[in-house]
A and B are shown apart, each in its own frame.
Chain A
Amino acid sequence: MSTDPVQVDRISGQTTTGHEWDGIRELNTPLPRWWLWLFYLTIAFSFAYWIVYPAWPLASSYTAGLFGYTNRGRVAEELAAGQAARMQAAAGLETATLAQIAADPKLTEIALAEGKAAFGDNCTPCHGSGGQGQRGYPNLTAGRWLWGGTLDQIHGTITHGIRADDPDTRASAMPSFGKDGILKPEEVREVANYVRTLGGLEPEQGVDVAAGKKIFADNCSACHGEDGKGNIDMGAPNLTTKVWQYGSDISDLIYTITYARNSVMPAWGKRLDPVTIKSLAVYVHSLGGGT
Chain B
Amino acid sequence: MSSTGQPHHGGSLFSRHHILETSPILLVLGILVMVAIGGLVEIVPLFYLKSTIETVQGMRPYTPLELAGRNIYVREGCYLCHSQMIRSLRDEVERYGHYSLAAESMYDHPFQWGSKRNGPDIARVGGKYTDSWHVAHLIDPRSVVPQSIMPSYGFLMTTALDTRALVDNVATNREVGVPYTDDMMANVMTDLKAQVSPDAPEAAALLKRYPKAVVRKFNPATPEITEGDAVIAYLQMLGTLVDFKLYDDKANLR
The answer to whether A and B assemble together is yes
Interface residues, chain A, CB within 8 Å of chain B?
A: 5-8, 15, 17-18, 28, 54, 56-57, 60-62, 70-76, 78-79, 82, 121-122, 124-126, 134, 136-137, 165, 263-266, 270-271
> What's the nearest-Cβ distance from chain B to residue A162, in Å?
9
Task: Name the A residues within 8 Å of B133 (CB-CB).
Answer: 125-126, 137
Contact B136 A136 (CB under 8 A): yes
Within the assembled complex, what's the spacing in Å between the Cα atoms of A54 and B51? 13
Which of chain B's residues has its CB closest to A75's CB? Answer: B88
Interface size grouping (class) on chain B: 35 or more
Contact B143 A134 (CB under 8 A): yes
> What's the nearest-Cβ distance from chain B to residue A61, in Å?
7
Given contacts A57-B45, A60-B50, contact A6 B1 (CB under 8 A): yes
> What's the nearest-Cβ distance from chain A to residue B39, in Å?
12
Contact B95 A6 (CB under 8 A): no
Secondary structure dominating the interface of A = mixed
5 A-B pairs within 8 Å (CB atoms) are namely: A5-B3, A72-B253, A75-B90, A121-B95, A134-B143
What number of A-B contacts does a CB cutoff of 8 Å give?
95
Contact A72 B252 (CB under 8 A): yes
Task: Name the B residues within 8 Å of A15 (CB-CB).
Answer: 1, 3
Given contacts A6-B7, A125-B144, contact A266 B253 (CB under 8 A): no
Contact A263 B130 (CB under 8 A): yes
Within the assembled complex, what's the spacing in Å between the Cα atoms of A165 and B44? 43
> What's the nearest-Cβ distance from chain A to residue B233, in Å?
14
B190 at the interface (CB under 8 A from A): no
Contact B249 A76 (CB under 8 A): yes
B16 at the interface (CB under 8 A from A): no
Task: Name the B residues within 8 Å of A60 (CB-CB).
Answer: 49-50
Contact A82 B90 (CB under 8 A): yes
Contact A62 B136 (CB under 8 A): no
